């Protein structure tokens, strides 16, 4: 079959479905590599995950379809991608598929000329979907492959040759992204979204060539200290259990063979190393839940095993949140606020301030367009304001706005403190436009500090970051790398104009003990007695503190 596919000069609906599946599978294989291409050394590298879940949603729309018309399959892909889009990279990817499908209206099959036109329209739509397009991103890669497609169609009518040229040009474009976006060069990485698009296209080509879509060429090993078991994660279909195994190999570990064997068992594979010990993380279907344990037992001595039913864990957490959150009912014609929140403590605060709906999400867990849409579609009002509270959720919120007939406004708040400050301006009985303006003014009146742990060593914006140290971000800008969480907090407070600010509110996360929190707060009070200080349990993962400075 694959040999015959190599000679195809056009693509019908069923072949396109196979290509989409191949792109999805190859992206899944390289998911962690794409995630690792994070500019800042913070534990929120989720571009690979966001693009993967977007592609999975796209494929779910066509998985059981026997449709032969390329136009109908392409439109289903676009619709699935739109609803499943997560993060900025996922939303831009959904726009790429939207433009691609639009160019194929009323087509039974797609020849190479049609393919080229679809790539051009995909680029155009993606650029239009972003208010301020930035070069050196996935947009640039989309543009470069559209240009390449026009060049190659005059030289071949063979699908494999066409894709081979496109993939090579996509690779060149990705490698050139640091020359267009200086921050990438500083961080020593290429653009993650562009790399994800490259892997999708390379998956198309590998399928036509009959090559494996399981074995990645990149084997990532991270420090064990940066791998946290039991975190809530996005669950892909078939990923029923999370299995983590700590083991000490009897002989030097061959990572190529190790990864290859694990890909036969499951997905979301991660490997950590430290002091002669390895930690293996994998998501597997129920029937494979013991295979990783049996496998690693053959390689050496197992010291610890962790297993979690991901589906049950997610259901229990969602059920718990629904039962405990006391959301204020919304009446018809009132203004409802939908807030995105990364932790249950923060969700309770948003609810107490009048939020009508809470969407779980934040760093490393960006909600989809569909999840945001569903949060307000059944509310008994047609006036809605969405607080994304994260720069990587803004585009998904905008997509939800465009997918409804309700009057929806998306506040450009990028942090939790900005969102909470905006909530204080809510008047559910007021005019939505006036409330939106009031909230917009509020978000610029608060500064935001964030404390987390560096995932790698790098120098950015003059800050020398050491892997494993505490790092401080002030208004989303990396400002310091410190030996302790406490000293990182003080680095943020050094940036504050003390004459202009009088209140500190600290929201502590799930990765810091209450004892450490109390000790740090006591020291802050001693050094800054002029501040009114509040402390709340935020429950957010990965970030030990989110600090609101007013």
Supply angle C-alpha 176, 181, 183, rounded to 5. Answer: 120
Same domain, residue pair 61 and 184? yes
Residue 216 lies in a domain: no
Write out the two tokens for 236: 């892909």
pLDDT surpasses 60 at 219:
no
Residue 122 lies in a domain: yes
Residue 308 lies in a domain: yes
pLDDT surpasses 70 at 1:
no
Same domain, residue pair 456 and 440? no
The residue out of 159, 180, 208 marking a domain boundary is 208
pLDDT surpasses 80 at 314:
no
Question: What does pTM read for this prediction?
Answer: 0.82
Same domain, residue pair 151 and 61? yes
Within 8 A by CB and 6+ apart from 497, the residues are none
Residue 372 lies in a domain: yes
| CATH code, 386 | 3.40.50.510
Handedness of CA 344, 350, 356, 358 (dihedral sign): negative
The residue out of 393, 421, 445 marking a domain boundary is 445
Same domain, residue pair 240 and 273? yes
* Distance of alpha carbon 146 from alpha carbon 116, whole angstroms: 6
The single residue listed with the structure tokens 């570990």 is 253
Query: What's the whole-number mean pLDDT along residues 415-427?
Result: 96
pLDDT 10s digits, 482-492:
999 999 999 99
Same domain, residue pair 33 and 159? yes
| CATH code, 457 | 3.30.1180
Same domain, residue pair 191 and 240? no
Helix ranges, 30-111 (H):
31-36, 47-60, 70-84, 87-102
Within 8 A by CB and 6+ apart from 375, the residues are 338, 357, 358, 359
Per the DSSP assignment, residues forming a β-bridge with 410 are 386
CA distances from 373 to 113, 368, 440 (A): 36, 9, 22
Q: Angle at which helices 369-377 and 70-84 pack, to 10 degrees?
A: 70
Total tally of structural domains belonging to the chain:
4
Write down the pLDDT at residue 44: 66
Alpha-carbon dihedral angle through residues 366, 20, 166, 149, given to the nearest 10 degrees: -100
pLDDT 10s digits, 537-548:
999 988 999 999
CA distances from 286 to 237, 269, 514 (A): 11, 16, 36
Residue 105, exposed/middle/buried by CB under 10 A (0-12, 13-18, 19+)?
Answer: exposed
C-beta of residue 112 within 8 angstroms of C-beta of residue 157: yes
pLDDT surpasses 50 at 232:
no
Per the structure, the complete domain to which residue 287 belongs is given by: 221-312
Residue 214 lies in a domain: no
Write down the pLDDT at residue 191: 95
CA distances from 482 to 13, 164, 527 (A): 55, 47, 18
The residue out of 285, 312, 339 marking a domain boundary is 312
């Amino acid at each position: 079959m694959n040999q015959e596919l190599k000679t195809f000069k056009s693509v019908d609906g069923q072949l396109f479905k196979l290509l989409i599946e191949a792109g999805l599978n190859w992206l899944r294989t390289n998911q962690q590599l794409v995630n690792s291409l994070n500019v800042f050394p913070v534990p929120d590298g989720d571009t690979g995950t966001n693009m993967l879940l977007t592609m999975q949603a796209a494929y779910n729309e066509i998985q059981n379809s026997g449709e032969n018309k390329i136009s109908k399959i392409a439109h289903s892909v676009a619709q699935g991608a739109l609803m499943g889009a997560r993060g900025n990279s996922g939303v831009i990817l959904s726009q790429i598929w939207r433009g691609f499908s639009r160019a194929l209206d009323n087509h039974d099959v797609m020849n190479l000329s049609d393919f080229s036109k679809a790539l051009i329209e995909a680029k155009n739509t993606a650029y239009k979907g972003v208010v301020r397009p930035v070069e050196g991103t996935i947009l640039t890669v989309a543009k470069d492959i559209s240009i390449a497609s026009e060049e190659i169609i005059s030289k071949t009518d063979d699908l494999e040759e066409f894709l081979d040229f496109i993939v090579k040009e996509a690779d060149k474009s990705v490698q050139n992204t640091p020359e267009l976006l200086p921050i990438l060069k500083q961080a020593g990485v290429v653009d993650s979204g562009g790399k994800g698009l490259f892997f999708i296209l390379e998956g198309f080509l590998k399928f036509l060539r009959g090559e494996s879509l399981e074995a990645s060429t990149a084997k990532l090993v991270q420090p064990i200290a940066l791998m946290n078991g039991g975190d809530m994660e996005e669950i892909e279909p078939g990923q029923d259990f999370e299995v983590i195994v700590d083991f000490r190999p009897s002989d030097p570990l061959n990572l190529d063979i190790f990864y290859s064997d694990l890909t036969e068992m499951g997905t979301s594979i991660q490997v950590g190393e430290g002091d002669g010990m390895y930690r293996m993380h994998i998501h597997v279907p129920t029937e494979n839940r013991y295979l990783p344990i049996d496998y690693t037992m053959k390689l050496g001595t197992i010291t610890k095993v962790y297993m979690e039913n991901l589906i049950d864990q997610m259901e229990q957490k969602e059920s718990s949140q629904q039962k405990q959150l006391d959301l204020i009912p919304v009446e018809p014609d009132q203004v409802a606020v939908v807030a995105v929140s990364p932790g249950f403590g923060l969700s309770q605060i948003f609810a107490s301030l009048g939020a009508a709906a809470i969407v779980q999400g934040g760093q490393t867990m960006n909600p989809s367009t569909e999840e945001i849409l569903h949060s307000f579609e059944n509310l008994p009002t047609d006036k809605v304001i969405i607080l994304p509270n994260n720069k990587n959720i803004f585009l998904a919120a905008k997509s939800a706005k465009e997918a409804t007939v309700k009057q929806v406004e998306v506040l450009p708040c990028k942090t939790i403190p900005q969102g909470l400050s905006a909530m204080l301006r809510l008047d559910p009985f007021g005019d939505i436009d006036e409330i939106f303006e009031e909230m917009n003014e509020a978000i610029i009146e608060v500064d935001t500090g964030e404390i987390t742990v560096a995932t790698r060593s790098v120098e950015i914006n003059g800050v020398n970051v050491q892997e494993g140290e505490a790092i401080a971000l002030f208004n989303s800008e990396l400002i310091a790398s410190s030996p302790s969480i406490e000293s990182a907090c003080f680095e943020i407070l050094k940036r504050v104009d003390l004459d202009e600010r009088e209140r500190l509110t600290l929201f502590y996360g799930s990765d810091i003990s209450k004892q450490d929190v109390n000790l740090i707060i006591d020291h802050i009070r001693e050094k800054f007695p002029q501040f009114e200080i509040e402390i709340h349990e935020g429950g957010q993962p990965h970030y030990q503190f989110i600090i609101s400075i007013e």
